Amino acid sequence: MAQIKIFGYCDRLSVKPGDAMNFMVSADGTDRISAQLVRLIHGDEHPTGPGFVEREIQSTANREWPARKQYTQVGSFLRVADPQNRLALSESFTVYAYIQPTLPAFNVRQALVGRWSIDRNEGYCLGINPKGYLEFWMGDGTEVDYVGAEIPLVANVWYFVAASYDAQTRRVTLYQEGMLTRYNSLLSKVTPYDYRSHVTEPMRVKPRNQDAPFIVSGAQDWHELRGHFIGQCYCGKIDRHGVYAKALSREALDGIRSGRELPKDGLVAHWDTTKGYDARGIGDTVLDVGPHGLHSVGYNKPIRGQTGWNWNGREDCFRLAPEQYGGIEFHVDVMIDSNWEPTFAFTVPESLRSGVYAMRLRAGDGTGLAEEYVVFFVRAAQPKAKVAMLIPTASYLAYANEHLSFDAQIIQPMAGQPPIVAEIDVEMYKNQEFGLSTYDRFIDGKGVCFTSYRRPIVNMRPKHRMSSMGCTWQFPADLSIIGWLEAMAYDYEVLTDEDLHREGLAALAPYKCVLTGSHPEYFSEPMLDASEDYIESGGRLLYMGGNGFYWCVGFRDDQPWIMEVRKLDSGSRAWEAKPGEHYLQTTGEKSGLWKNRGRPPQKILGVGFTAEGFEESRPFRRMPDSYHRTVSWIMDGVEGEVFGDFGLARGGAAGVELDRYDLKLGTPPHTKILASSGGHSDNYILVVEDVVYMHPGFGGTQEPKVRADVTYYTAPNHGAVFSTGSIAWGSALPHNNFDNNVSRITKNVVDAFLKDGPLPGWGWIADEKQWR
């Protein structure tokens, strides 16, 4: 019997009662799946906690559905809309482009620009052969003829390349010239390489074009199971490119290469990749400034806002010098949107209360049972509860299907143990069709800056354990906070980062008290503004994690399922954006750390990222401030000086990633430090953005900044912020069936935050001459 595998996703993460959703499922080894709507309560199967808890919900979707294996287009490219077949050229023509290949000798053919059918051997294409040489080929459906350059392309060097076909002489001239400046390429002029190649050869065949589209970074192929798709995708950048319906001379190509005005005679299309920028960035459409307006549209988010062949290093943003930012970056292994066909539709019942839900999918039985959870979040149609949990979906996207856990050189020292790899991790690692996270690199070494939820995300599932840490992470860890809200019988609702980004303060304003997730690391500017405004206007926030409000990200209004981040030259990062490429294509703003844009998390949360280490977690010890008459109520019912010496995340409430109080980074001066952790091992290292000079002593056994601080401060209009300073805090809540001192402290705060009027201890402190 064949092994059954099922994977799925939905087209919306955040919905309200009455909203329609589509569920996309791919099934291998079966043609039927069963669906069951479930409410998710707890997602960590750790033996010291309550285990996995779900509740089945009656729904019209609860039934068997036909399913099939669905296929995914991997690789980014541009597709040209050409309804008049103006690019179906068979007489004399020229194709040209500026290119910067990142993996020329890839052992597979890479198509640059052309109208080529791989399965039919028809058309024409300028590309790179498996050995890394520029090559032009044409086919008539029976034969294919090739012309290759004399010298191989060098990775990360800009070139101007072209192929000119003269139908009368049936000869092709292949043109290759290096375009090195002081800034735009990996190598400089002092490297004694010759990048030029000019070859003229006769061709035996004439190109025949039928239904293949004109593609930049790829060519059309066909398979009997999946139909047409795009193969032979390219790794690297392509800048301005075009097509003439005539054979251009070497002199004419020299003129185009040097940036002079384009000859008008014979021009079919010229895609000016520098056009379309505005203050809000640039989209996926590449404008043809030629006579026919044959614009192209990107698939799988070709990366824009990238330096081009003529970047001079003086301007660092496309908003300042768009004419130098024509580079579009393509990758053979990128996948943003699976674009599967819907398997079934579902309308959220009007009676469904706000919470965390999933469509549980199953196929087979016994030892052959396959199971999948497609997670989504239901908001209230009209907010009524006083408590809300802000689900950090932006951070879920950042880590979606991350492969970093397989890099033992990084993870093993951080975790203090080899990664424990589960079967589902292996499935994700070997399957390009699931896409990558922003913690991964493409096969050519470039960093992943776009991520999306319109694909299966195997680590955004209940019960998933991060292989590098041996504990839950992100979504399944946040279910411990959901489980606590349920156990404490609070009337609560949920909303997501997507809602906060779109609606701003209006999304938070109905709630008296808002709890974050355990790791709200990725924040857009509208999200950050709304959070600050909520607190200032009297809102009360419980920051339930660590390393929050850290990276600046962007979303487009027309593509809310896609998030962009650029990892810059500071912060704990898996890759680093190249010089000149620090600004978001999505919004036009600088990415990187919020700290480096003048908004460190301490200014809002009272604490900010200070250390990480995936080894043992530690307990907290009460600090003198916790006995102050204005905040002592927070510790009511807590015995002794030490608390949180337990938890589902490595045995303590202070661990995984830690935040600290720091007046120099904007912690409000009246903030109270209620407790701090200590005794962390040297697997916990001070964050790199705080290291100015390298020297020994940055580990947990020597560096006093390696700690988690629990803090509390009051804000105007009876607002307040309580911060736990630790990712592991939420995973300590379920210990002993939610009856423990970490749970008691959290409940003390929530109960106080739900009351109207001044908070306990609020008043004029005469000896300090301020309100507390």
Q: What is the pLDDT of residue 425?
A: 77
Q: What is the pLDDT of residue 415?
A: 67
CB of 433 closer than 8 Å to CB of 335: yes
Look up residue 72 and give its two tokens: 């995914």
Rounded Cα distance, 107 and 220, in Å? 19
CB of 599 closer than 8 Å to CB of 593: no
Q: Which amino acid is at 468?
A: S
The position carrying tokens 């192209």 is 296
The residues near 229 (Cβ < 8 Å, ≥ 6 apart) are: 71, 73, 220, 221, 222, 223
Q: What is the dihedral of CA 720, 721, 722, 728, to 10 degrees?
A: 160
Q: What are phi and psi of 586, to 5 degrees?
A: -70, -40
DSSP 692-718: SS--S--BTTT-TT-S-EEEEEEEGGG
Q: What is the pLDDT of residue 579?
A: 95
Rounded Cα distance, 524 and 282, in Å? 17
Nearest-5° Cα angle at 380, 512 to 727:
60
Look up residue 687 and give its two tokens: 């964050």
What's the burial of 300, exposed, middle or buried (CB within 10 Å: 0-12/13-18/19+)?
A: buried
Give me the average pLDDT of each 10-residue run along the chain (772 residues). 86 98 97 97 93 97 97 98 94 97 95 97 97 97 96 97 97 95 86 92 89 96 95 98 97 94 95 92 95 98 97 94 97 97 98 98 89 97 97 97 73 69 76 92 96 96 75 91 98 98 98 98 98 98 98 95 95 92 96 97 98 92 97 97 96 96 98 97 93 89 96 97 98 97 98 95 57 54
Beta bridge partners of 643: 620
Beta bridge partners of 452: 562
Look up residue 712 and give its two tokens: 């509390």
Rounded Cα distance, 345 and 7, in Å? 16
Rounded Cα distance, 36 and 20, in Å? 17
Size (the chain), residues: 772
Q: What is the dihedral of CA 543, 709, 420, 447, to 10 degrees?
A: 70
Look up residue 772 and give its two tokens: 């507390």
> What does DSSP assign to residue 257?
H
Listed residue (235, 242, 227, 319) closest to 281, CA to CA: 319
Q: pTM score, two decimals?
A: 0.96
Pairing between β-strand 236-244 and β-strand 93-101 as defined by DSSP bridges? antiparallel
Q: Which amino acid is at 640?
A: G
CB of 155 closer than 8 Å to CB of 102: yes
Rounded Cα distance, 561 and 565, in Å? 14
What's the burial of 385, exposed, middle or buried (CB within 10 Å: 0-12/13-18/19+)?
A: middle
Q: Domains in the chain, please, with CATH?
A: 5-70+341-376 (2.60.40), 77-330 (2.60.120.200), 382-392+409-434+465-554+597-754 (3.40.50.880)
The position carrying tokens 């070497």 is 250
Q: What is the pLDDT of residue 407?
A: 65
The residues near 591 (Cβ < 8 Å, ≥ 6 apart) are: 551, 552, 553, 554, 564, 565, 566, 567, 568, 577, 582, 583, 584
Listed residue (558, 573, 516) closest to 729, CA to CA: 516
Q: What is the pLDDT of residue 729?
A: 98
Q: Which amino acid is at 425?
A: D
Rounded Cα distance, 426 and 419, in Å? 12
Count of other CB atoms within 10 angstroms of residue 276: 16
Rounded Cα distance, 703 and 699, in Å? 6
The shares of helix, strand and coil residues in the chain, as percent rounded to the nearest 5, are 15, 35, 50
Look up residue 759 and give its two tokens: 């908070």
Look up residue 387 and give its two tokens: 């408590």
Q: What is the pLDDT of residue 655?
A: 96
The position carrying tokens 């997602």 is 43
The position carrying tokens 């033992």 is 408
Look up residue 262 and give its two tokens: 């384009």
Could you tell me how many helices (H) and strands (E) the chain has, helices first? 12, 47
Nearest-5° Cα angle at 380, 375 to 383:
145
Pairing between β-strand 492-496 and β-strand 303-306 as defined by DSSP bridges? unpaired
Rounded Cα distance, 538 and 757, in Å? 10
Count of other CB atoms within 10 angstroms of residue 292: 13
Rounded Cα distance, 164 and 243, in Å? 10
Report the run of H or E that residue 362 belongs to, with start and end: strand 355-363
Pairing between β-strand 32-42 and β-strand 64-66 as defined by DSSP bridges? antiparallel
Report the run of H or E that residue 319 belongs to, with start and end: none
Rounded Cα distance, 461 and 176, in Å? 50
Rounded Cα distance, 510 and 173, in Å? 68
Quick check: helix, strand or coil at residue 234?
Answer: coil
The residues near 2 (Cβ < 8 Å, ≥ 6 apart) are: 28, 29
Listed residue (6, 1, 11) closest to 65, CA to CA: 6
Listed residue (609, 700, 613) closest to 662, CA to CA: 609
CB of 498 closer than 8 Å to CB of 377: no
Look up residue 763 and give its two tokens: 């008043």
Quick check: helix, strand or coil at residue 322?
Answer: helix
Mark out the alpha helices in 219-321 (DSSP H runs). Answer: 250-257
Q: What is the pLDDT of residue 94?
A: 98
CB of 23 closer than 8 Å to CB of 63: no
Distances (CA, A) of 631 to 535, 634, 641: 18, 6, 16
